[in-house]
Amino acid sequence: MNAVRSLVEVRVPDMGNFKDVAVIDVLVKPGDTVVIDSPLVTLESDKATMDVPSTAVGVVEKLHTNKGGKVNTGDLIATVRANGSAPAAAPLGTVPPATAPPATAPPSRSAAAPPPTPRGVSPAAAPERASAPEAGAALAAAVATTLRSDLAPIDEPGFSRAHAGPSVRKFARELGVDLARVTGQGFKGRITHEDVKSFVKSALAGGAPETARPAAPALPPFPAVDFTQFGPTAIEPLSRIQRISGPRLHASWVNVPHVTQFDLADITELEQVRAGLKDRAQAAGVKLTPLAFILRACVKALQQFPRFNASLDATGANLIVRKFLHLGFAADTPNGLVVPVVRDADRKDVYELARQLAQLSEKARAGKLAPGDMQGGCFTISSLGGIGGTAFTPIINAPEVAILGVSRSSMQPVYQGGSFVPRLMLPLSLSYDHRVIDGAMAVRFTTYLAQTLGDPRGLLEAVL
């Protein structure tokens, strides 16, 4: 920040290694009066938010950035015309040039030793401006008293999670406003000073209900890019399935707090048993695939952990626990991914599960699935083992609360009985809704599932 007569340049302070930090809120406009430490703009990096404060008392002459822009350390944010002729403060490590009053300057009342005044304000102007903060404080106190008598106490956990900068938080506390109840209209749904003011006006007018909840902010769209400027392009329309499933997947990803738990299941014995049942399966007219055993194992795991067979209700305050068990499985088709549902999977043995899987997969590839074939699922399995991969993070098929991803099995050395032995290991990737399922429960689920797959006798009880 450098002083040019009475103009003060406010620049971005040292932000360490952060580059191209977003300006998510501009808190002033040209002509606004500011004091030292008045927030001018709010910046947001990947790790935190910060306000850039004014370093002088005066009037904002010009803004040199705007909302949505990018800045770096040392960039010019604003120019402030400081009150009076006192030189503005220099940046750390610099000394402002010395100035002296003219020798012939006539004496005046301001030449007498005045009481301390804010830096950058002439003594004569100090008494006039001193009343403004007092009036503002009185107004804030009156508003806060009214709000506190009309509104519920601040929910501290919700207040701390609110998407707002330090200056907005301070402003809200002064007024007694619970930021958890304020809808943010700023960049990426950020709560601004204007949002707090609007909430206050509504509350004072009797329009802020006690149970008001902020609406989910709309995400900013990606900017349009003309790729032809880089080379030849072609337009390929998305398939109908992709156009339908895309928004649903996006909604699930945005609205559901996903966590993925990874594990390995030893399926060495299971593959041996499956190979031994090949002739029997052919006689029954089915092909016993690993997926049939995985579905059977999931049935047992869901019966052991019924919370995975549930959904949140519309209020988000209650769980709807299903008393039926329909399993969905992701089927790859030429037109995109679909999820047929095996109904009443808990009432079917591995042979019947294999038969249902084959029938539904064939209908999916032929594009003949009826709407009822893809409805009512409780839990979904996405198996990519036939293609490859070691792990992935499947997106939950909301309103379900979990989905199991299965990757390609491989022989791996496992330490057993004092030596390494080759075992066929199957990677499992369980994505779950953290609002419903915590990490400990997810680990117990995958551990139980791995143990169940490791003991195929339990999966064949109904057919032995």
What's the confidence (pLDDT) of residue 199?
85
What CA dihedral angle connects 226, 228, 231 and 234, to 10 degrees? Answer: 110
- What is the DSSP annotation of 247-301? HHHHHHHHHS-EEEEEEEEE-HHHHHHHHHTHHHHHHTT----HHHHHHHHHHHH
Find residue 332's DSSP bridge partners.
337
Q: Where are the beta strands (DSSP E) in 100-170?
A: none
Residues 414 and 332 in one domain: yes
CA pair distance 338, 164, nearest whole angstrom: 40
Largest Cα–Cα separation, the chain: 116
Task: Point out the domain boundary residue: 99, 114, 138.
Answer: 99
What pLDDT, on the 0 to 100 scale, is given for residue 159? 77
Q: What are the distances in angstroms from CA 38 to CA 173, 177, 192, 413?
A: 16, 20, 15, 63
Any idea what the CATH number is for the domain that residue 30 is in?
A: 2.40.50.100
Dihedral Cα 30, 33, 38, 39, nearest 10 deg: -20
Tokens in use for 464?
């032995």
Q: Is there a single domain that holds both residue 348 and residue 401?
A: yes
Averaged confidence pLDDT in the chain: 81
Q: Give the three-state DSSP class for 377.
A: coil
CATH of the domain at 409: 3.30.559.10
pLDDT, residue 45, reads: 61
Section 37-57 average pLDDT: 78
Q: Please write the tens of the pLDDT for every residue from 353-398.
A: 999 999 999 999 988 888 889 999 999 999 998 899 999 999 999 9
Domain count, the chain: 3
The verdict on 324 and 267 lying in the same domain is: yes
Our answer to whether residue 434 is catalytic in this structure is yes
- The conformation of residue 374, written as its DSSP 8-state character, comes to G
Q: Same structural domain for residues 151 and 51?
A: no
DSSP labels, 18-31: --SEEEEEE---TT
Determine the pLDDT at residue 444: 98
Residues 373 and 418 in one domain: yes
The phi and psi torsions of 24 (rounded to 5 degrees) equal -100, -10
Check 64, 258, 326, 434 and give the catalytic one: 434
3-class secondary-structure state, position 77: strand
pLDDT number for residue 189: 73
Residue with tokens 């369980």: 430
What is the domain range of residue 379? 240-459
Q: Are residues 80 and 186 in the same domain?
A: no
Rounded (10°) angle between helices 126-150 and 166-175: 70
Q: Dump pLDDT digits (tens) for 157-180.
A: 677 777 777 778 878 887 788 888
What length is written for the chain?
Answer: 464
CA 46 to each of CA 18, 20, 50: distance values in angstroms, whole numbers, following the listed order: 9, 11, 12
The answer to whether residue 224 sits within a structural domain is no
Measure Cα distances from 379 to 260, 267, 327, 403, 404 in Å.
Answer: 15, 22, 5, 6, 8
Strands 7-11 and 21-26 turn out to be unpaired
Examine the domain organization and report whether 295 and 418 are in the same domain. yes
From CA 340, how far away is CA 359, in angstroms rounded? 10
Cis peptide bond N-terminal to 13, omega within 30: no
**CATH classification of the domain holding 162:** 4.10.320.10
Structure-block tokens of residue 262: 């990874």
Of 396 and 198, the one with more pLDDT: 396
The pLDDT assigned to 98 comes to 39
Q: Which helix (H) or strand (E) holds 432?
A: strand 419-433
* Residues 250, 166 within the same domain: no
395 and 449 in a single domain? The answer is yes
Last residue of a domain, one of 179, 204, 229: 204
